[in-house]
Chains A and B, each alone.
Chain A
Amino acid sequence: MTWLKHSIMFPSVFTDKLLRWVLRSGAVVSALVMAMIMLFLLVESWPVFQHLSLTRFITDSSWHPLEDAYNLMPMLSGTLFASIGALFLAIPLGIASAIFIVYYASPRSALLYRRLIELLAGIPSVVFGFWGLTTLVPLINQFHPPGASLLAGILVLTLMILPTIALTAYAAFSAVPNEYMRSAAALGLSRWGMIYGVVFPAARTGIVAGVILAAGRALGETMAVLMVAGNVVQHAESLFDPIRTLAANIALEMAYAMGDHRSVLFVSGLMLMLLVMTLSGLAGWLGKNRYA
């Protein structure tokens, strides 16, 4: 049976060593991608740090990059308003969806609805944007022109982050130990009493981590918001005012930006990434300390 040895085993010591090297270098390259992204964002935005003071992003009179006015605040407020609005709608809807799947639906409809949410998560942002542009914007326009507005942005964003919230909340609910339910039922708690009094506290960190993840996604979303939000650089005074987000600003102006203008766009990209990194770090930390 020596032939078996040759067909199953590679010449052991040498290939194992080789394999280890191959794997190690692959992993190093994968890890380097993130460092490269950081490096290039910093390098490209370096000119701005060198000869523009950072306060100018707040104190400049407006955003007119061709005339050296770089006030990023209207776009920051647009980004925050849109994200917060979307979270405001998506959190109740997402958690209700998760509760429905775990505690109310029959197994059949639970599976069906979960699949629907998963498919919703797979719809690309440009399709959401396109649908918003052709359906939502005209609809809002009938009530309150111009239609392309903060509200349209919020609604489209809601649809995009709802699956994230629903699926993470679903995972958190499923992880609540069954004994908790049985004890609650034995105490005579009603279904909502059980969900509110037992499940929510037990699943809280998981849900919060999901919400933070969704917030990161909302802040960074580009195309869908760009297509429906009107892209006027201003502080929104009502839901029906058009706004421009930081990410949309990059996508809109990158094509013709030169010199300082280009660097400022990289700075806003850097800002966006730091915001999202902080949020995802927070979510990861929460996930890790779930039982602490």
Chain B
Amino acid sequence: MLDISAGRSRYIFRDRLIQLLIYTAVFFVSAVFIWILADLVRGGISHLSWNFLIDSPRDAGRTGGIGSILVSTILILLVALVVALPLAWTTAVLLAEFVPVTSQFGTMVRYSLQVLAGVPSIVFGLFGNAFFSIYLGLGFSILSGGLTLACMLLPILVSTAEAGLRAVPDTYRMSAAALGMSRTATLFHLLLPAAVPALAAGLLLGIGRAIAETAALLFTSGYVERMPGSLLDSGRALALHIFDLSMNVPGGDAPAYASALVLVILLLVINIFSMKLAFGLQSKRIMPA
């Protein structure tokens, strides 16, 4: 008996120690997260104002605001979404509804997207520069930046939409077939409406990914900080603006902090919304028609 209880107290000690280590790690991670946010708020809040959001940058961004930068960011994002969404959603519908999981075509498309998801963003930048900017002659422009981002968003948009469609219960499809509905009608009247939360969550995720991107835009949408006049003008995205201010502009720290704060707040809001959508999706699988 003595042996066993001695052994037990050793185990209890070991368990306590490991629990302590785990709590320390968790505390450490949370502390760093709060440290980063606090730093950004402390550095940026004094510089942040309505005028900062709508003014154009002056003196390489040291003074003025980020008005034109925000416009460029939104334009790049819009181009990316307009191109990527139709492609991604048609691909997802095909993969989820029209080809068997084991079919060769389906496997090939899925594999290619899986590889695409792992490509580092700087490689997208290289490709965008070689293909859109030079080969297609779009130059450093919002259009070539947006198209590059569209390639980058494809995998995440496809996989979220496909998962959303697969989560629609099979009874929907069978009832529709029993009613003699065509597959097109089933898709537009039943499956897509039922998958809307998943599509929206994927869309938000994609938007978050897109406005966080820097490396892919470096040699595609360019550095020009003027208000863009057309999609063929170069336009500087918000993330790139932060990069440029902190690396290349001495004394650009205060506006860089404020821009980073704007970017992080935007992303937090977007991510929280997409979490809410995904959570709602989990809690009620079957949508009211």
Q: Provide the bound-state CA to CA distance between A250 and B258, in Å.
A: 28
Residues on B with C-beta less than 8 A from A269 are 122-123, 126
Stretch from B19-27, B45-53, B54-62, B280-288 at the A interface: B19-27
Residues on B with C-beta less than 8 A from A192 are 14-15, 18-19
Contact B187 A280 (CB under 8 A): no
Q: Provide the bound-state CA to CA distance between A133 and B158, in Å.
A: 35
Q: Provide the bound-state CA to CA distance between A28 and B124, in Å.
A: 19
Q: Provide the bound-state CA to CA distance between A119 and B265, in Å.
A: 11
Q: Provide the bound-state CA to CA distance between A26 and B36, in Å.
A: 41
A30 lies within 8 A of chain B by Cβ: yes
B172 lies within 8 A of chain A by Cβ: no
Contact B263 A127 (CB under 8 A): yes
Residues on B with C-beta less than 8 A from A251 are 122, 125, 215, 218
Residue of A nearest to B208 (CB): A122
A31 lies within 8 A of chain B by Cβ: yes
A128 CB, nearest partner CB in chain B, Å: 8
Contact A40 B120 (CB under 8 A): no
Evaluate whether A250 and B94 lie within 8 angstroms (CB atoms) in the complex, with A37-B127, A125-B214 already known: no
Judged by DSSP, the binding face of B is helix
Stretch from A11-19, A61-69, A171-179, A198-206 at the B interface: A11-19
Stretch from A50-58, A214-222, A232-240 at the B interface: A214-222
Partner of B118, one of A96, A265, A276: A276
B100 lies within 8 A of chain A by Cβ: no
A36 lies within 8 A of chain B by Cβ: yes
Contact B151 A23 (CB under 8 A): no
Evaluate whether A22 and B90 lie within 8 angstroms (CB atoms) in the complex, with A10-B185, A131-B40, A284-B114 already known: yes
B95 lies within 8 A of chain A by Cβ: yes
Partner of A37, one of B94, B108, B123: B123
Residues on A with C-beta less than 8 A from B218 are 251, 254
Contact A19 B185 (CB under 8 A): no
Residues on B with C-beta less than 8 A from A9 are 180-182, 185
| Per-residue A-contact encoding for B262-277, CB less than 8 Å = 1, 0 else | 0110011011100100
Residue of B nearest to A117 (CB): B29
Residue of B nearest to A28 (CB): B109
A2 lies within 8 A of chain B by Cβ: no
A184 lies within 8 A of chain B by Cβ: no
Partner of A26, one of B94, B125, B243: B94
Partner of A193, one of B11, B116, B158: B11
Contact A29 B213 (CB under 8 A): no
Q: Provide the bound-state CA to CA distance between A126 and B244, in Å.
A: 10
Q: Provide the bound-state CA to CA distance between A16 and B118, in Å.
A: 34
Partner of A93, one of B25, B120, B215: B25
A266 lies within 8 A of chain B by Cβ: yes
Q: Provide the bound-state CA to CA distance between A221 and B272, in Å.
A: 25
Contact B39 A135 (CB under 8 A): yes
Q: Provide the bound-state CA to CA distance between A15 and B33, in Å.
A: 52
Interface size class of B (residues with CB under 8 A): 35 or more
Residue of B nearest to A103 (CB): B22
A159 lies within 8 A of chain B by Cβ: yes
Partner of A40, one of B12, B90, B131: B131
Q: Provide the bound-state CA to CA distance between A31 and B22, in Å.
A: 43
Residues facing B in A169-214 (CB within 8 A) are 190-193, 213
Contact B184 A10 (CB under 8 A): yes
Residue of A nearest to B94 (CB): A23
**Residue with the greatest number of chain A CB neighbours at <10 A, chosen from B25, B126, B211, B213:** B126
B141 lies within 8 A of chain A by Cβ: no
| Per-residue A-contact encoding for B74-117, CB less than 8 Å = 1, 0 else | 00000000000011111101110010000001001100111111
A149 lies within 8 A of chain B by Cβ: no
Evaluate whether A159 and B32 lie within 8 angstroms (CB atoms) in the complex, with A34-B116, A131-B39 already known: yes
Contact A23 B93 (CB under 8 A): yes
Residues on A with C-beta less than 8 A from B126 are 40-41, 44, 250, 254, 265-266, 269
Residue of B nearest to A158 (CB): B32
B272 CB, nearest partner CB in chain A, Å: 8
Contact B115 A277 (CB under 8 A): yes
B209 CB, nearest partner CB in chain A, Å: 9
Q: Provide the bound-state CA to CA distance between A117 and B124, in Å.
A: 26
B239 lies within 8 A of chain A by Cβ: yes
A247 CB, nearest partner CB in chain B, Å: 5
* A residues with CB within 8 A of B: 8-10, 12, 15-16, 18-20, 22-31, 33-37, 40-41, 43-44, 92-93, 96-97, 99-100, 104, 113, 115-120, 122-131, 133-135, 159, 162, 190-193, 213, 216, 219-223, 227, 247, 250-251, 254-255, 265-266, 269, 272-273, 276-277, 279-281, 284
What are 20 residue pairs bridging A and B, where the CB atoms are less than 8 Å apart in the complex? A24-B94, A26-B90, A26-B91, A27-B94, A27-B109, A29-B87, A36-B127, A37-B151, A41-B126, A43-B130, A44-B130, A120-B33, A124-B263, A126-B242, A134-B246, A134-B253, A191-B15, A191-B19, A250-B126, A273-B123
